[in-house]
Amino acid sequence: MTKEELKKATGQELIEQRDYCGVDGYYGDYLDNVNAEMLKRFNRLAELEAQIEKMKNCANCKNYNGNEGFCILGSGYGYNCKLEKWEIKEK
């Protein structure tokens, strides 16, 4: 698998490639490339999850009444919000 193919591979394909390499020193460089690609993806995923959590604030939710200052899903003024029901406000 080339470096370009590694970048296009799914997560499961990367796991299979890493398992194929095992601990044999013969595949050391290739294993390093696979591990680096997996780490890059995991870091990107963590970054995206953090961005999503930042976006989930009451002011950006369609269930938030900015004029009244409360969320119709929560039990008060932006507190105890049910984030699983958070939806982005239409512009």
pLDDT per position as a tens digit, 17-59: 888 777 666 777 888 888 888 899 888 888 888 887 777 777 7
pLDDT at 34: 85
Domain boundaries along the sequence of the chain: 1-55, 57-91
What is the C-alpha to C-alpha distance for residues 34 and 19, in angstroms, rounded to an integer? 10
pLDDT at 27: 77
The residues, any chain, with a CB within 8 Å of residue 60's CB and separated by 6 or more, are 88, 89
Task: Please report which residue ranges of the chain form alpha helices under DSSP H.
Answer: 3-8, 11-21, 28-55
pLDDT at 69: 63
Distances (CA, A) of 12 to 6, 16, 76: 11, 6, 43
What is the C-alpha to C-alpha distance for residues 18 and 26, in angstroms, rounded to an integer? 13
pTM of the model: 0.52
pLDDT tens sequence across 60-79: 777 777 666 667 766 555 55
